[in-house]
A and B are shown apart, each in its own frame.
Chain A
Amino acid sequence: MSSDVHYTLHHPKWYRRRVSVWWWLQKRSYAQFVLRELTSVFVAFFAVVSLWQLHALGEGPEAYAHFMARLKSPLFLALHGVTFLFVLFHSITWFNLAPTAIVVRLRGKRVPDFVIAGMNYLVWLVASAAVAWLLLRG
């Protein structure tokens, strides 16, 4: 019996484990979750760039041309490539989780998960097609 432990009959000594800082590496699903949370940084980055673009547009054609030229720098291209991957991961994992949060009942029966997720994907597709049409028609 070690000397630093004192046992009293009616006051048991509970053992509390500390959660490791690396808890998110213990399971694949935890790591995936943390990665999903991390995507928000890139979503925010893209939002800021878009706001910046709007600002440049308001400043006049010269400022806008300057902004667009800056976007074509290798650093921005690489950042946008990474951002695209993260935003894609964000969107797909989010749409796959949507049926858990959205419960729709039709005639007393719950609408199946794939229909809810499918609707999300459909709206995404239509919105993307609309944006692509707007940008690429010229």
Chain B
Amino acid sequence: MAETITLSVARYRPEEEAEPTVQTYEVPYRKDWVVLDALNYIKDQLDGSLSFRWSCRMGVCGSCGMTVNGEPKLTCAVFLSDYLPGPIRVEPLQYFPIVRDLVVDISDFLEKLQKVKPWIILKEEKPLSEGEYRQTPDQLDTYKQFSMCINCMLCYAACPIYGLEPGFVGPAAIALAQRYNLDSRDMGAQERLDILSQKGGIWDCTFVGECTKVCPENVDPAGAIQQYKLAGAAHWFKSLLLPWGAK
């Protein structure tokens, strides 16, 4: 069994270099180490200047998404042993501007997420005396899968459409819009459809399907977008046949 493993890490120090370079590090190989552990070892023991994002170490916060051997991964969820004998290539998430080393600028995603109104929209609030908005387990089940998104953006890094059409709202944001559309308490489906029927919305997706494959939470954003398209098309047909009753 190898005692060390090589990590080829993408570096980008805007004050020193015009484009990213690669730096290799030898780290101890431990069976129970994930790639993030190795990065933390580098940061603590070998090179304190390496920058990367991480927080929870347990697949909940969605901060440590990076490209590992060409695939978007949560670095806290992939083991060094998955990549034996190495070397392991660690790069920042694709398609996002690189701020430094493995840190990307995520403001584009945050803006798009806000644009699709991912919150419960009520036309009018019930009075408190009527109690809570209740849901049956079946009603919860219709949207629960899409609510598991942790905003890790691996799906954006896997989506060539997002790379080619930076205006595309993208998989996670649309999946989250669909999460609220399917919520029995929500009344904002029409508002979201108006936004997502435009350029950059659901019709920009050509169903490559990679977003679903890389999702660490099994959210199935590709499914959400296709189901959204189906609902959008049905709505369009309805408004064509019954122009007075659609809105």
In the complex, identify which listed stretch (B16-24, B73-81, B116-124, B184-192) lies at the interface while the others stay far away.
Answer: B16-24
Q: Which B residues lie within 8 Å of A12 (CB)?
A: 14, 99-100
- Name B195-210 residues within 8 Å CB distance of A: 206-210
Inter-subunit contact A100/B223 (CB<8 Å): yes
| One of B82-90, B125-133, B147-155, B225-233 contacting the partner | B225-233
Asked if residues B223 and A5 are in contact (CB atoms below 8 Å), the reply is: no
CA separation between A126 and B230, bound complex, in Å?
A: 25
CB distance from B101 to the nearest CB of A (A): 10
Contact present for A14 and B208 (CB under 8 Å):
no
Contact of A14 among B105, B141, B142, B212 (CB under 8 A): B105
B213 touches A101 (CB 8 A): no
One of A17-25, A64-72, A82-90, A129-137 contacting the partner = A17-25
Proximity bits, A20-43, B CB within 8 Å = 1, else 0: 000110110110010001000000
State in angstroms the CA–CA spacing of A44 and B210 once bound together: 26
Q: Interface range on chain A: under 10, 10 to 19, 20 to 34, or 35 or more?
A: 20 to 34
- CB < 8 Å: which of A5, A105, A108 contacts B18? A5
* A17-B94, A19-B163, A30-B160 given; A105·B222 CB < 8 A: no
Contact among A7, A24, A97, A110 for B14, CB-based, below 8 A: A7
Q: Is the CB of A29 within 8 A of B16?
A: no
Q: A15-B98, A17-B94, A108-B138 are in contact. Are A23 and B220 (CB under 8 A)?
A: no
B contact residues around A19 at 8 Å (CB): 95, 160, 163-164
Q: 6 tightest A-B contacts by CB?
A: A101-B226, A7-B15, A108-B138, A14-B97, A13-B14, A15-B98
- List residues of chain A with CB under 8 Å of any chain B CB: 1-2, 4-5, 7, 12-17, 19, 23-24, 26-27, 29-30, 33, 37, 97, 100-103, 105, 108, 110
